[in-house]
C-alpha cells in the first residue's frame, strides 16, 4: 500500500475508529502487520479491519435467511431464478456491479418414482417425509419429492441384497461369502462416501438398481434427539442428492471442459448414453422407516457388527424372499440455471479475489446452502459499506452465488470452464463457503499455502459461545477430537487431519463436494472452503428449514455474523496485501510426507524400492525451493519493492498452484488436472493426496504408476522452478 493510500485510508477511518465499539468482533491481540502487509501499513489495515468487523449484524443475517428459506428453490426451477434476481438486487444496493449469467444444462426432474415390496408380502413404500405440526414449512406442497438427480430411468423387480455403505470393500465382503448382486436391487445406507460412488460401484457389480437410505445409527436417533425435538434425522427423513459420477468430472454431464452457454452448438454436446458421469441404473432414496420394512425381511447370514445399523433387529445380507419393485422415470431436458456475479472493482481490475457460495437448495436449504448465502451477503454488505465510505480495494473482489450446485456443481463448473484463461491470469484465490453455519464448530480445508491465512483471520474473530477467538475454540475442539477420534462427518462436512503437527490447528486437504472443485482441481486457483459445523442430521431433507436453524443450528444467528466477519477479513487481506500471504513451506512438507508414504507402498507392492524415487527426489527439490523462497521473502516483510516487481512476485506466487496441474490430466479422469490433490475416485468428498500415483497403486498398475510418477515429478519441478524464480526476483537489486 502506498503512502498516499495510507493517508487517504486514515482520513476515511479516523472518525469511525474513535467512536465505534464493535460487538463480538475482534481480539486483535497482535497489532503487528498481518502476513503480507508492510509494517508501515499495519495501523491502517487494522483500522480497516476493525471497521469491517463492526458491520455484520446477526439480525440482518437472520432476515436474510428467513427470506432465502421462504420457499423451496430447486435448481432449474423459477424459484431458483427468483433467488438469483433477489441476490443480484442486494449486491447492487451494496454498490457492487452485478450480473446474472445463464447456462443451459442437462438436468433431470422426477416424473414418476415408485417403490413397493412385492414379496414375501406386498407393501407400498417410498413414503414421503412426514409434516411436523410445530413447523408449518414441512407441509409445503411445493417441496420436491425425494429423488436422486442423474439417476437413470428404469423399471426393475428383483430380490434385494443389503450392501452396507455400498463401497468396494463391502462388495468384497459379499464376494467372500459367495453372495452375488448381479441383477439384484442393492440397498445401501448413506454415509462414509459420496452417494454417487455407491451408484458407480453398484453399476460396476451389475446390480439392477440401487436404493439408498439414512440409517438411524448414522444421523438419526442413535446420535441424539430427532427433529423437531432435536437436530437429528427423524425416521421419515430422506436425504436427497445427486448420484452423478462427479469424481470423473462435475458440471454439465454433456459438456465436460466446455461452458454450457444457452447458444452452444448442439454438436459439442455428448450423447447422454455416452456421458461417463451419468449412471446407467435407477437409484432412489428412501427413509429409515421404509428401509426397515425391507431389511427386516431379508434372509441369509446375519451381517458383521460393522454392518449392523441402528434399527431394532438383526440385519441380514439377503437375498431371500424379500423382493422389491423399483420404478424411476426421469424427465431429462436442457434447463436454465442462473449464476449471480457481483463485482467490487479495485484499483487493479486485473487481479481478482473471488468468494463463492451456491444459492440453489434441495428444498428450503436453511443450512445447505442458505446459511452460507446469508453470511456472505453480510460480508458483501460490510465490504460495500467500506467502499461507500471511500475505501477502494487494491484488488478487485468478486462475490459469486452459483446455481445448480446440488445436482453436480453445475453453475461454478460452467463459469470456470467459460472463463478459464481469464481466471488463470487474474484470479488470486477462491474462497468458498457452502454450509456456512450448522453449529458452533469451525472447520476448514484449503490448499496448504492458504492454511496460515485461515488461522490468522480466525484469531481475530470472537467465537460467540465461548468469548475466545474462533481459532482458540477451533483448536480446543480439535484437541478433544484427538483424544476421542470418534466423530463421523455428516453430509459434506470436512474431517480435520488429526495426524498433523500439533503446533498449529490442522487445516484439511481439498477434496470435493462443493463449488471450489473446478477452481482448484481444474483451473489450479488457490482455494479454501470454510464453515461452522455441528449436530446436523437433516441434511438434504425437508426439515433443513428456518425452524431447524432457529432452534438448533444458530438460534441467535451470532455464528452467521461471525462467518461474515471471517469472510470479510479474508477478502480484505487477500485484496490488500502488499505481498500475497502464501506459504509454500507447509505445502512442501505435506507433499514430501505423502511422497515418502507412497514410496513405501510402491516398494511393497512391486518389490522395487526405487519405483517412486523420481517423485521423492522432486519433492525434495520442491522443499528446497520453498525454503529458498521463504528466506528470500523474509526481508520483504519490512521493505517495499518497486510496484512492477511486487506485482510480478505476487502473480508468480499464485501461478505456482497452476504449475502443479498436469496438462494431460489424471489417468482415467483427465478433467481433474491437479497432481497433488483430487477427490478420491471411490471416496467422492474425501481428498486423495498425490492422486494419480496413489490410484495407480490401488489398481496395482505398474505402467500407470510410471506415467503418473513422471507427470507428478514434472509438476513438482515446474513449481520448484517457479519458487526459485520468485526467490531471485525478491533478492534482485532495486
Q: Which residues are the active-site residues?
A: 405
Q: Which grid cell sits at 221?
A: 436417533
Give bridge partners of residue 678 from the DSSP assignment: 688
CB neighbours (10 Å) of residue 691? 25
Residue 43 near residue 538, CB atoms below 8 Å = no
CB neighbours (10 Å) of residue 709? 24
Tell me how many degrees the CA angle 604-608-614 measures, rounded to the nearest 5: 110
**β pairing state of 154-162 and 323-344:** antiparallel
Please choose, from the candidates 5, 4, 13, 26, the residue with its C-alpha nearest in 3D space to the C-alpha of residue 460: 26
* 3-state SS, one letter per residue, for 482-541: HHHCCCCCCCCCCCCCCCCCCCCCCCECCCCCCCHHHHHHHCCCCEEEEEEECCCCCCCC
Question: Cα 521 from chain centroid?
Answer: 12
* 3-state SS, one letter per residue, for 467-494: CCEHHHHHHHHHHHHHHHCCCCCCCCCC
Tell me the CA distances in angstroms from 157 to 76, 323, 525, one per residue in order.
Answer: 31, 7, 47
Angle at which helix 42-53 crosses helix 558-576, to 10 degrees, equals 150
Q: Which grid cell sits at 37?
A: 502487509
CA gyration radius, the chain: 25
3-state helix, strand, coil in the chain (%, to 5): 40, 20, 40
What's the number of CA atoms in the CB half-sphere (13 Å) around residue 390? 13
Please choose, from the candidates 162, 358, 146, 129, the residue with its C-alpha nearest in 3D space to the C-alpha of residue 250: 358
Q: Produce one character per residue of 2-38: b if its CB has 16 or more CB atoms within 10 Å, e if not.
A: eeebbebbeebbeeeeeeeeeebbbbeeeeebbbbbb
3-class state of residue 45 by DSSP: helix
Residue 227 near residue 132, CB atoms below 8 Å = yes
Please choose, from the candidates 669, 146, 667, the residue with its C-alpha nearest in 3D space to the C-alpha of residue 363: 146
- Long-range pairs, 679-682, Cβ under 8 A, ≥24: 679/194, 679/246, 679/247, 679/511, 679/512, 679/513, 679/517, 679/521, 680/247, 680/511, 681/247, 681/248, 682/167, 682/168, 682/193, 682/197, 682/201, 682/247
**Which residues are within 8 A (CB) of 632 and not within 5 positions of it... i.e. 6 or more apart?**
726, 727, 728, 730, 731
Amino acid at each position: 500500500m502506498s503512502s498516499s493510500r495510507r493517508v487517504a485510508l486514515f482520513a476515511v477511518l479516523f472518525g469511525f475508529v474513535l467512536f465505534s465499539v464493535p460487538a463480538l468482533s475482534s481480539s486483535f491481540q497482535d497489532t503487528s502487520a498481518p502476513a503480507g502487509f508492510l509494517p508501515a501499513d499495519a495501523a491502517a489495515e487494522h483500522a480497516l479491519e476493525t471497521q469491517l468487523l463492526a458491520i455484520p449484524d446477526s439480525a440482518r443475517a437472520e432476515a436474510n435467511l428467513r427470506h432465502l428459506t421462504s420457499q423451496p428453490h430447486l435448481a432449474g426451477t423459477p424459484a431458483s431464478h427468483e433467488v438469483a434476481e433477489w441476490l443480484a438486487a442486494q449486491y447492487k444496493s451494496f454498490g457492487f456491479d452485478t450480473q446474472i449469467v445463464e447456462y443451459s444444462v442437462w438436468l433431470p426432474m422426477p416424473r414418476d418414482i415408485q417403490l413397493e415390496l412385492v414379496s414375501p408380502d406386498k407393501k407400498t413404500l417410498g413414503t414421503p417425509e412426514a409434516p411436523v405440526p410445530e413447523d408449518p414449512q414441512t407441509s409445503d406442497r411445493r417441496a420436491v419429492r425425494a429423488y436422486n438427480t442423474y439417476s437413470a430411468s428404469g423399471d426393475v423387480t428383483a430380490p434385494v441384497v443389503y450392501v452396507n455403505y455400498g463401497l468396494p470393500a463391502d462388495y468384497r465382503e459379499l464376494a467372500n461369502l459367495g453372495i452375488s448382486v448381479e441383477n439384484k436391487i442393492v440397498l445401501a445406507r448413506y454415509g462414509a462416501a459420496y452417494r454417487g460412488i455407491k451408484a458407480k460401484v453398484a453399476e460396476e457389480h451389475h446390480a439392477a438398481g440401487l436404493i439408498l437410505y439414512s440409517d438411524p445409527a448414522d444421523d438419526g436417533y442413535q446420535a441424539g434427539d430427532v427433529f423437531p425435538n432435536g437436530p437429528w434425522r427423524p425416521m421419515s427423513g430422506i436425504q436427497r442428492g445427486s448420484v452423478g459420477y462427479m469424481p470423473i468430472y462435475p458440471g454439465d454431464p454433456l459438456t465436460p471442459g466446455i461452458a454450457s452457454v444457452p447458444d452452444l452448438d448442439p454438436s459439442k454436446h455428448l450423447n447422454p448414453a455416452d456421458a461417463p458421469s451419468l449412471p446407467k441404473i435407477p437409484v432412489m432414496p428412501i427413509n429409515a422407516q421404509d428401509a426397515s420394512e425391507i431389511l427386516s425381511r431379508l434372509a441369509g447370514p446375519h451381517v458383521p457388527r460393522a454392518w449392523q445399523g441402528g434399527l431394532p433387529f438383526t440385519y441380514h445380507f439377503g437375498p431371500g424372499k424379500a423382493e422389491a419393485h423399483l420404478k424411476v422415470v426421469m424427465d431429462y431436458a436442457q434447463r436454465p440455471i442462473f449464476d449471480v456475479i457481483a463485482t467490487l472493482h479495485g484499483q487493479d481490475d486485473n487481479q481478482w479475489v473471488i468468494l463463492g457460495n451456491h444459492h440453489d437448495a434441495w428444498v428450503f436449504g436453511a443450512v445447505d446452502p442458505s446459511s452460507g448465502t446469508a453470511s456472505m451477503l453480510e460480508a458483501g454488505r460490510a465490504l460495500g459499506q467500506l467502499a461507500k465510505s471511500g475505501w477502494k480495494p487494491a484488488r478487485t473482489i468478486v462475490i459469486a452465488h452459483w446455481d445448480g450446485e446440488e445436482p453436480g456443481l453445475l453453475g461454478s463448473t460452467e463459469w470456470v470452464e467459460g472463463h478459464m484463461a481469464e481466471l488463470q491470469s487474474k484470479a488470486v484465490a477462491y474462497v468458498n463457503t457452502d454450509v456456512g453455519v450448522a453449529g458452533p464448530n469451525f472447520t476448514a480445508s484449503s490448499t496448504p499455502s492458504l492454511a496460515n491465512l485461515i488461522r490468522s483471520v480466525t484469531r481475530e474473530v470472537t467465537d460467540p459461545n465461548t468469548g475466545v477467538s474462533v481459532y482458540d475454540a477451533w483448536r480446543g475442539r480439535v484437541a478433544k477430537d484427538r483424544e476421542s477420534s470418534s466423530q463421523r462427518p455428516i453430509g459434506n462436512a470436512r474431517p480435520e487431519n488429526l495426524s498433523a503437527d500439533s503446533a498449529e490447528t490442522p487445516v484439511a486437504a481439498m477434496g470435493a463436494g462443493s463449488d471450489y472443485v473446478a477452481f482448484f482441481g481444474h483451473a489450479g486457483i488457490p482455494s479454501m472452503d470454510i464453515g461452522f459445523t455441528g449436530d446436523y442430521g437433516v441434511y438434504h431433507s425437508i426439515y433443513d428449514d428456518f425452524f431447524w436453524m432457529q432452534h438448533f443450528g444458530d438460534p441467535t444467528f451470532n455464528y452467521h455474523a461471525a462467518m461474515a466477519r471471517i469472510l470479510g477479513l479474508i477478502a480484505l487481506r487477500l485484496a490488500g496485501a502488499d505481498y500475497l500471504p502464501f506459504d509454500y513451506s507447509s505445502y512442501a512438507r505435506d507433499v514430501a510426507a505423502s511422497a515418502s508414504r507412497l514410496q513405501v507402498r510402491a516398494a511393497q507392492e512391486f518389490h522395487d524400492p526405487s519405483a517412486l524415487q523420481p517423485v521423492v527426489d522432486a519433492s525434495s527439490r520442491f522443499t528446497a525451493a520453498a525454503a529458498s523462497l521463504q528466506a528470500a521473502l523474509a526481508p520483504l516483510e519490512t521493505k517495499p519493492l518497486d510496484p512492477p516487481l511486487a506485482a510480478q512476485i505476487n502473480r508468480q506466487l499464485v501461478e505456482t498452484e497452476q504449475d502443479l496441474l498436469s496438462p494431460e490430466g489424471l489417468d482415467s479422469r483427465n478433467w481433474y488436472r491437479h497432481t497433488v490433490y483430487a477427490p478420491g475416485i471411490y471416496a467422492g468428498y474425501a481428498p486423495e493426496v498425490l492422486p494419480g500415483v496413489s490410484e495407480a497403486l490401488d489398481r496395482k498398475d505398474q505402467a500407470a504408476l510410471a506415467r503418473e510418477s513422471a507427470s507428478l515429478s514434472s509438476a513438482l519441478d515446474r513449481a520448484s522452478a517457479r519458487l526459485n524464480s520468485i526467490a531471485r526476483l525478491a533478492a534482485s537489486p532495486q
